[in-house]
Amino acid sequence: MPPGEDTALDQAFLIQFTGSMAAVAVLVGLAAWARIGRPAPGLDEARARDLLGEDFPEQRIDQLWIAREGKGALARSGACALVLVQVGDGYAARRLSWCQATSAMFKNGLLDIRLGEVAAPRAVLAFDNWPPADLAA
Amino acid sequence: MDDLDPVSLAVPFFILAIVLEIVLARMGLVRANYEPKDTFTSLAMGLGSSVAGLATAGVIFAASLWVYQHRLFDIPMTAVWAWVLVFLLEDKIYYWFHRLAHERRFWWASHVNHHTSQHYNLSTALRQTWTGGVAGTWLLWLPLSLIGFPPAMVAIQKGISLVYQFWIHTEAVGKMPRWFETVFNTPSHHRVHHARNPRYLDRNYAGILIIWDRMFGTFQPELEGEPCRYGIVKNLATFNPIRVAFHEWAAIGRDLMGARSLRDAALYLFGRPGWSPDGSRETSEQIRARWAAAAGAARPSPATGAETGLTPDVRSESPA
Ligand SMILES: [Zn+2]
Ligand SMILES: [Zn+2]
């Protein structure tokens, strides 16, 4: 490759890359402007049970707590805790031990559960108190 | 070579089509949901994928050139029959690549990226892997060069397939005419492929032609009574593109560290996604079997089951 061609290639790449970044910004801006996400009215108990049932169809739910403004939920199922966390206008569900849920950090009305996955690092749920006052023995 | 790359040529069209889909959805004229963070992740994955692709493109092209030097036949790039043949062969290779990418964890770790969105719109089409070159599935296309198809011809056909698969990532199109749905991969067929409903898991691997799924027993039509729920079995709780790109590789690494035997390590790497030594996780097959059993139990009689669309539709796997 003659000298100079190398830098020309680098420059072409840089221009293309910058152009692509700008296109990404425009499209994301357009998506935000359009407000065409799925309607996410916040969870109620029935919807939370439905969603948990999709991921854990065989898991019996003993008790269920909905986070403030319906942005997530936590259920007790025997020795397990089932967590439902809002992701954009969708949800992700995870199962962990009940101990992990009770020992999670609770500060300023936020329960911060470490899920320990690269795909799901943590679930932060807003509750008035934790452990919940109505927790069955 | 870049002048002939259908993907590079199509980028402006991709952008315009996404703009159109968003604007028409905003006007209420077509069905499409866009969530800005999800859209960002999809587009960032697309951009990252093309940068990552540059790193391995040279090696892949050099390998196909080397194989081509040892070709069995001389196939002219100017003959129509050669294009028809490369179209059919490439599409069949795509089917088996895609099936492998879903059925074996090592390749799933790379391909899973494409399935991580809970949305299904044109931006989802651009949510592409960053680790495809490393996963090595490009080796599957080398036999085409060994037969005698010029590497440029194979690269162009691969590009045509990728461009074709862009437009099918939409909810704006319901069903195409019946003859088209019979032969070609369509928005409807590919929606099923992106769905996490047990009935729809690991179905419709087609690139351009759906006939391969029909032939090899992996076809599942989209049912009116069962809307697609998009995403993966365990949806991601993050929009961070780095986490999206590497999460399954990291999960494999963690499993390998805890593996108690060579057999376990091999199955963690090359077994079905969801395999675990103690059976504490589930593979797609197990999820579908559990669902089918439950649906069967809930069904009072075969006739009513068929009407409600609850009939388990478990097909036997064709020999791999
Ligand atoms: Zn796939
Ligand atoms: Zn797709």
B35 CB near a chain A CB, below 8 Å?
yes
Tens digit of each residue's pLDDT (9 = 90 or more) over B271-309: 999 999 999 999 999 999 999 999 887 766 444 333 333
Q: Average pLDDT, stretch B129-147?
A: 96
pTM here is: 0.92
CB B66 within 8 A of CB B144: no
Q: Domain segments of chain A: what residues?
A: 1-36, 45-126
The predicted structure's pLDDT at residue B49: 96
Compute, in angstroms, the gap from residue B38 CA to the centroid of ligand 1: 18
C-alpha–C-alpha distance, residues A119 and B304, integer Å: 40
Token readout for B251 is 């999960």
Compute, in angstroms, the gap from residue A92 CA to the centroid of ligand 1: 20
CB B15 within 8 A of CB A20: no
* B217 Cα to chain A: minimum distance (Å): 26
**Residue B177 CB contacts under 8 Å (≥ 6 apart), including other chains:** none
Q: By mean pLDDT, which of A13-22, A84-93, B310-319 is the weakest?
A: B310-319
Q: Percent of chain B having pLDDT more than 70?
A: 92
Tens digit of each residue's pLDDT (9 = 90 or more) over A86-126: 999 999 999 999 999 999 999 999 999 999 999 999 999 99
Q: Report the relative pairing of strands A105-107 and A110-114 from DSSP bridges.
A: antiparallel
The predicted structure's pLDDT at residue A132: 86
Q: Which sign, positive or negative, has the C-alpha torsion B38, B39, B40, B45? A: positive
Go through chain B and tell me how many residues it has.
320
State which residue of chain A sits closest to B17, comparing Cα positions.
Answer: A27
* Portion 68-107 of A in contact with B at CB < 8 A: 85, 87-94
Q: How confident is the model at residue B316 (pLDDT cuts 50, 70, 90)?
A: very low
For residue B184, give the DSSP letter. Answer: B
**ipTM for the complex shown:** 0.93
The predicted structure's pLDDT at residue B14: 97
The predicted structure's pLDDT at residue B78: 96
Q: Percent of chain A having pLDDT more than 90?
A: 80
Q: Do B237 and A35 touch (CB under 8 A)?
A: no
B chain contacts of residue A58, beta-carbon cutoff 8 Å? 290
The predicted structure's pLDDT at residue B35: 98
Does residue B195 have a pLDDT over 80? yes
C-alpha–C-alpha distance, residues A34 and B39, integer Å: 12
Q: Alpha helices of B104-210 — where are they, by DSSP H?
A: 105-111, 122-125, 132-135, 142-147, 151-167, 178-183, 187-193
Q: Do B250 and A118 touch (CB under 8 A)?
A: yes
Mean pLDDT of all residues in chain B? 92
The predicted structure's pLDDT at residue A4: 66
Q: How confident is the model at residue B320 (pLDDT cuts 50, 70, 90)?
A: very low
The predicted structure's pLDDT at residue A134: 83
Q: Could you tell me how many helices (H) and strands (E) chain B has, helices first?
A: 15, 0
Q: Do B39 and A27 touch (CB under 8 A)?
A: yes
Compute, in angstroms, the gap from residue B210 CA to the centroid of ligand 2: 14
C-alpha–C-alpha distance, residues B13 and B222, integer Å: 28
State which residue of chain B sits closest to A72, comparing Cα positions.
Answer: B237
Helices B262-270 + B241-257 axis angle, to 10: 160
The predicted structure's pLDDT at residue A13: 86
The predicted structure's pLDDT at residue B297: 76
Q: Percent of chain A having pLDDT more than 70?
A: 96
CB A131 within 8 A of CB A102: yes
Token readout for B197 is 């409903």
B19 CB near a chain A CB, below 8 Å?
yes
Compute, in angstroms, the gap from residue B13 CA to the centroid of ligand 2: 18
Q: Report the relative pairing of strands A110-114 and A90-97 from DSSP bridges.
A: unpaired
The predicted structure's pLDDT at residue A9: 77
| B122 closest CA partner among B168, B68, B58, B161 | B168
Give the number of A-B residue pairs with CB atoms closer than 8 Å: 113
**Residue B36 CB contacts under 8 Å (≥ 6 apart), including other chains:** A28, A31, A32, A37
* Portion 64-123 of B in contact with A at CB < 8 A: 118-119, 123
* B97 Cα to chain A: minimum distance (Å): 24
Tens digit of each residue's pLDDT (9 = 90 or more) over A76-89: 999 999 999 999 99
Q: Do B238 and A20 touch (CB under 8 A)?
A: no
B142 CB near a chain A CB, below 8 Å?
no
B chain contacts of residue A120, beta-carbon cutoff 8 Å? 234, 236-238
Mean pLDDT of all residues in chain A? 93
Q: Report the relative pairing of strands A90-97 and A105-107 from DSSP bridges.
A: unpaired
The predicted structure's pLDDT at residue B302: 44
3-state secondary structure of B204: coil
The predicted structure's pLDDT at residue B312: 38
Tens digit of each residue's pLDDT (9 = 90 or more) over B158-194: 999 999 999 999 999 999 999 999 999 999 999 999 9
Q: Do B22 and A27 touch (CB under 8 A)?
A: yes
* B251 Cα to chain A: minimum distance (Å): 8
B18 CB near a chain A CB, below 8 Å?
yes
Does residue B2 have a pLDDT over 70? no
Element at A97 (helix H, strand E): strand A90-97
Phi first, then psi, for residue B60 (nearest 5°) are -65, -45
For residue B62, give the DSSP letter. Answer: H
Ligand closest to Cα of B125 equals: 2
Does residue B3 have a pLDDT over 50? yes
B30 CB near a chain A CB, below 8 Å?
no
Q: How confident is the model at residue A136 (pLDDT cuts 50, 70, 90)?
A: confident
